[in-house]
Amino acid sequence: MPLDLICPAGSLVSLKAAIDHGADAVYMGFRDNTNARAFPGLNFDEAQAAEGLRYAHDRGRRVLLALNTYPQPDTWSRWTGAVDRAAKLGMDAVILADAGLMRYAVKNHPQLRLHLSVQGSATSYEAVNFYREHFGIQRAVLPRVLSLPQVENVVKHTDVEIELFGFGGLCVMVEGRCLLSSYCTGESPNSAGVCSPAKAVQWKETPAGLESRLNGVLLDRYGKDEKAGYPTLCKGRFEVGGETYYAIEEPTSLNTLDLLPEMLKMGIAAIKIEGRQRSPAYVTQVTKVWRAAIDAVKKNADSFEPAPAWQAELNKLSEGQSHTLGAYHRPWK
C-alpha cells in the first residue's frame, strides 16, 4: 500500500495511542543506546516490546524496530544482541544504519526484513541500490536534504520502497554524520543515541530569561514570552560578527501535508512521523491528523487541500516558531 502512516512510540501507551488512531505501523527502540532516542525512562524492554507487538498484530498493524545508531567496538554485542531479540520477538522490520550490522542480520536472520535508516545517509539511488544488492534491504528512509524532484529521481531508479519524513522536529540534516554535540559533551548522537544527553543539559531561569546550557556552554536565552526549543547545539543562538542569531539553524518543524498529493503520485511507500521522545498526547493528536489527511488524499488526490484545522493542530505541537516544507520544496539544488 502506498503512503503507509508510520508513527513514533516511546512507550506502550504511545504505541496503543498510535494504533488506536490509525497508524499502519509504529516504530520503537529498545531501552539502550542502540537507537537514536536513548532517553532515560523512554523505550521498551523485551516484555513491553512483546506486548506492543501483540497489540499491533492483533489489529493487523506492524511494528518496526529502530536500531539506528552506530555500534562501538567494545559493545558490538549489544547491537547484535538487539538484532537477535528483534528476530526472536517477530519484529516486522529492523531499521538499520550500520553496514556491519546489516551483514550480521542477513547472515544470522535471513528472514528479518531490513529498512535502511535515515541515519544511513543514503541520498542517491546508487547508494540505495548498493544496500539492496548487498543486504537485500526492502525500504530506505531518505534523509531530509533532498528536494521533491530529487526524491522522485531516486524512486524511479530503484525497486526499494521509499519512506519520507512527513512531520516533526528538524535538525541540521546531516543524518548519520552529525558530530556537533560531541563538541560540548564528547558524545555524538550516532554512537551515544542522543544529541544532548540529559545529564549534560541545564535549564535556568535568570533575570535575562530562560537559559539552556549543554555541559556549561550557553545554547540559548529565551525572552519572557519566546517559545523555547530542544537544547541542542545546532538550534542555539550564538554571537557571530557582533550579531546574536540562529547561526546554524532555526528551530522549526517539518510539515509536508501540502505535498501529500505529489508524494502519492510518485509512489512513496510510507510517511514517517518524528517524535519517539514525545508523549502519548502528541502521538494521538498527530496520528489523528495524518490518518485523516492520508485517507483524504487517497480518496481524491486532485482536489486534496489540507484542512486549516489540521494545520492548526500540527502547529500547536511543533517545536520552534514555525513549520516548513524543508528541502522538499526548495527551488535550488
Partner 1 sequence: MLNLAFPPQLATLVARLPLAPPSLAFSMAANRLLWPALQTLDWQPLVGRRYAIRVKDLGLSFRFAVSQSGFAPDGGAPDLTISATARDFLLLLSRREDPDTLFFSRRLVSEGDTELGLTVKNLLDALDPELVLGRLPAPLARAARRLMAA
Name the percent of the chain in helix, strand, coil, to the closest 5: 40, 20, 40
When binding is defined by CB under 8 A, the residue of 76, 183, 203, 245 that contacts partner 1 is: 203
CA 245 to CA 239: how far, in whole Å? 7
| Window contacting partner 1 (CB under 8 A); options: 5-13, 84-92, 135-143, 160-168 | 5-13
Query: Can you list the positions of beta strands (E) in 43-142?
Result: 62-67, 93-96, 114-116, 139-141
When binding is defined by CB under 8 A, the residue of 124, 147, 279, 324 that contacts partner 1 is: 279
Residue 273 interacts with partner 1 (CB under 8 A)?
A: no
How big is the CA angle at 13 (ends 9 and 19), to the nearest 5 degrees? 65
We find the least distance from the C-beta atom of residue 321 to partner 1, in angstroms, to be 10
CB neighbourhood size of 247 (10 A): 14
Tell me whether residue 97 or residue 194 sits nearer to partner 1 (CB atom). 194
Residue 281 interacts with partner 1 (CB under 8 A)?
A: yes
Q: Which cell numbers hold the place of 310?
A: 489540521
DSSP codes of every residue in 63-91 = EEEEE-SPPPGGGHHHHHHHHHHHHHHT-
We find the least distance from the C-beta atom of residue 37 to partner 1, in angstroms, to be 10
The site string for partner 1 over 283-312 (x = CB under 8 A, - otherwise) reads -xx---------------------------
Residue 225 interacts with partner 1 (CB under 8 A)?
A: yes
Window 77-136: residues binding partner 1 (CB under 8 A): none
Q: Are 248 and 236 in contact (CB under 8 A)?
A: yes
| Window contacting partner 1 (CB under 8 A); options: 78-86, 138-146, 259-267, 280-288 | 280-288
Q: Are 197 and 187 in contact (CB under 8 A)?
A: yes
When binding is defined by CB under 8 A, the residue of 4, 7, 11, 119 that contacts partner 1 is: 11
We find the least distance from the C-beta atom of residue 127 to partner 1, in angstroms, to be 33
Alpha helices (H) along 170-307 = 182-185, 189-192, 260-265, 280-299
CB neighbourhood size of 46 (10 A): 12
We find the least distance from the C-beta atom of residue 85 to partner 1, in angstroms, to be 17
Residue 204 interacts with partner 1 (CB under 8 A)?
A: yes
Q: Which cell numbers hold the place of 180?
A: 556537533
> Phi and psi dihedrals of 238, rounded to 5?
-130, 155
Residue 14 interacts with partner 1 (CB under 8 A)?
A: yes
Tell me whether residue 222 or residue 246 sits nearer to partner 1 (CB atom). 222
We find the least distance from the C-beta atom of residue 65 to partner 1, in angstroms, to be 18
Binding site for partner 1 (CB under 8 A): 10-14, 31, 39-42, 45, 197-199, 201-205, 210, 222, 224-229, 277-282, 284-285, 316-317, 319-320
